[in-house]
Amino acid sequence: MTALGDPFDGLWPDVERELPEHALTAIAERAQEADRAGAPARESLDLLRSLDWPGQPVPEKFRGGGAGLVRCCAMQRALGAADPALAVALNMHLFSVGLMVEHWRRRTDTSWLLMEAIATQNRLLASAFAEPNLGGSTTRSLLRAQEVEGGWRVSGTKRPCSLAAEADLVCLQLQAEAEPGDPQEVLVVLLPTTAPGMRVVRDWDAMGMRGSGSNTLVLEDCFIPDELVFHRAPAGSGDDDVFAAGTIWFALTSTACYLGLSQAALRHAGDLLGRSRIAHLDSPRAGLPSYQAVVGEHVAALLTLEAACADTARRMEQGAAPERLVDTALAVKQRALRVVPEAVGALAEVCGGAAYSRSGPLERLWRDAQAIRFHPPTPVATRQYLARRALGLPAGLDLDESAPGLAGGASGTTGR
């Protein structure tokens, strides 16, 4: 029988123009050292800047690359196959710029000036949406911003924050101070990382995704000018169209990073299985049906996930209302946190002890794959949201233990 080639061909557009093969090879060669150092490789970031990668999602009319969600996912998949930790770190840039693009499309305000600056100056963004004790919510913040003349003042901690020490700008959400009983409002802002009152604590020492540089960002009496607030929404709102669109961008592009990681694991496992022999059977492992069955089972799961991710991205890009697509995008992400770690673990297992050695890449890829479980919205909140939507109960992206079907609902939630 004639081989048909890569079964994953055709699911994604070619991104050779944005990420040439020589660039991906150079990035991949630095991944192991970035893992040891616990920080992104500066050379890889500089290389991506030289390729105008930071401005890719910015519309062409604002001097960006004009890449839509599908192409951005394809780029993240390619980067994930080269250096998963770098891809995840850069995904926070992509998510923030995608959020800005979606905001501008719906509000058509002066936020285009920020996007144009990112594209023309190749500025890298960190996304500081995660906070301790927030439970993975992105539509709330424990940092209270006090309104002052010309802007806002805020103090607090954001952790983990990928690229915190390497980025030029940081995108973060804050919650405006309000009188008791008044509506709570979230502000989404963009600040230079050199802003007075902002500093980075280099405390990232995780098991996997070590090369993402996800350190702690501390704000101490930090001033935020009004003109750098580019979006405002009710805190905890499930109805905000921009937050919904941003959730879709993050769910799909982050899934694409891990799909790239899976492809790298499959490639390295294939090489090991082809070289590793079972002596008494006089055959490489790759030639034995028992090993082929394990690989085939997980290729099937990965192909299904890839197809779902690509199709959902295309629907979003073709104009589907984000409020109607959030469920699907979150379901894709939720499925990925089972499929990807299981696939990488199974591939490492069939390769035997060689896969457990730190001298090879499968050990690092296995560690990196575990991080998929911790990206917001968290799995617990996502399961609850999807269940309540399916059951016709009030649902929001924040974890809610109020049993709304019995108590009449909680503030900040939305039904079908």
Average pLDDT over residues 132-139: 80
Residue 397 pLDDT exceeds 90: no
Of 26 and 6, the one with more pLDDT: 26
Residue 4 pLDDT exceeds 90: no
pLDDT of residue 405: 60
pLDDT of residue 326: 95
Is beta strand 215-225 parallel, antiparallel or unpaired with respect to 144-148? unpaired
Tell me the pLDDT band of 132, cut-offs 50, 70 and 90: confident
Residue 412 pLDDT exceeds 70: no
Looking at every residue in the chain, the average pLDDT score rounds to: 92
Residue 413 pLDDT exceeds 50: no
pLDDT of residue 1: 42
Condensed to tens digits (0 to 9), the pLDDT of residues 302-334 reads 999 999 999 999 999 999 999 999 999 999 999
Residue 3 pLDDT exceeds 70: no
Condensed to tens digits (0 to 9), the pLDDT of residues 43-61 reads 999 999 999 999 999 999 9
Average pLDDT over residues 76-89: 98
pLDDT of residue 182: 78
Residue 410 pLDDT exceeds 50: no
Structure-block tokens of residue 75:
């780029």
| SS3 readout for the chain | CCCCCCCCCCCCCCCCCCCCHHHHHHHHHCHHHHHHHCCCCHHHHHHHHHCCHHHCCCCHHHCCCCCCHHHHHHHHHHHHHHCHHHHHHHHHHHHHHHHHHHHHHHHCCCCHHHHHHHHHHCCCEEEECCCCCCCCCCCCCCCEEEEECCEEEEEEEEEEECCCCCCCEEEEEEEECCCCCCCCEEEEEEEECCCCCEEEECCCCCCCCHHHCCEEEEEEEEEEEHHHEEEEEECCCCCCHHHHHHHHHHHHHHHHHHHHHHHHHHHHHHHHHHHCEEHHHCEEHHHCHHHHHHHHHHHHHHHHHHHHHHHHHHHHHCCCCHHHHHHHHHHHHHHHHHHHHHHHHHHHHHHHHHHHCCCCHHHHHHHHHHHHHHCCCCHHHHHHHHHHHHHCCCECCCCCCCCHHHHCCCCCCECC
Tell me the pLDDT band of 357, cut-offs 50, 70 and 90: confident
Condensed to tens digits (0 to 9), the pLDDT of residues 137-195 reads 778 899 999 999 999 999 999 999 999 999 999 999 999 998 887 788 999 999 999 99
Question: Which backbone phi and psi does 189 adopt, to 5 degrees?
Answer: -130, 160
pTM for the complete prediction?
0.93
Determine the Cα angle at 13 with ends 51 and 299, to 5°: 115
Average pLDDT over residues 391-395: 90
Condensed to tens digits (0 to 9), the pLDDT of residues 226-246 reads 999 989 988 876 678 888 999
Average pLDDT over residues 73-99: 96
